[in-house]
Amino acid sequence: MTAAADGDVVLLGRSSSHFTRVARIFADELGVAYEFQVASDLMALERARFGGNPALRLPILKTPAGEWFGSMAICRELSRRATREVRVVWPEQLVTPLLSNAQELVLQAMATEVELIVAGRGAPATPHLIKRRASLESSVGWLNERVDEVVAALPEREASFLETTLFCLTEHLRFREVLETAPFQRLEAFARDFAQRPAARATPFAFDASS
């Protein structure tokens, strides 16, 4: 976090969560101060443990106006609170099949990764999980083949939801050992480049203590 914490804005999440990291990178790049609260148990069943989110998911942004559920809505609220002018490219500006499909596949891959992690490493290989893994591998392969073209096709910007989510997905696959990322060399090169940003350096994935 680059700005001083502001008690008015609290981000509830986990340092190991890719969706949480998307919000943290945006906050940092937009110069929005926030207090980071670690959700102690991802598997809790009480919505109060998830900032009131009935989907029982992280991250949640708590503000005086109320709670914002989900990384994209949080990033949009952070942009309304920005303390510096940053040109951001949002998903609705991705008006070609290439860019639109890239965003869809990144978000779906992030969600599929959550499913595989929650199922657990030793989970029996049911047809459902086998298909999910195949879907993840083929989506990441698609993104790897096109990442250079995608980045080149983005409108002029200082930040984009697409690149931020793609970075968090790529690093998270390696961090949680869900997929071997070495074969996806173009994605690895993209992530190495993005990782130089101060906001990426300030928000490394880590395992928080659980209650």
Q: Which residues bind ligand GSH (CB under 6 A)?
A: 17-19, 42, 56-59, 70-72, 114, 118
CB-wise, 42 or 94, nearer to ligand GSH? 42
CB-wise, 149 or 207, nearer to ligand GSH? 207
CB-wise, 58 or 200, nearer to ligand GSH? 58
User: Which position has the token pair 């910007």?
Assistant: 157
The upper half-sphere exposure of residue 175, i.e. CA atoms within 13 Å in the direction of its Cβ, equals 18
Q: How far is Cα 130 from Cα 128, in angstroms, rounded to an integer?
A: 6
CB of 85 to ligand GSH, least distance (A): 25
CB-wise, 181 or 182, nearer to ligand GSH? 181
Q: Which of 30, 22, 2 is nearest to 158 (CA)?
A: 30
Q: How far is Cα 22 from Cα 195, in angstroms, rounded to an integer?
A: 13
CB of 202 to ligand GSH, least distance (A): 19
Which structure tokens are listed for 94?
């991705």
CB of 94 to ligand GSH, least distance (A): 17
CB 46 within 8 A of CB 95: no
CB of 16 to ligand GSH, least distance (A): 8
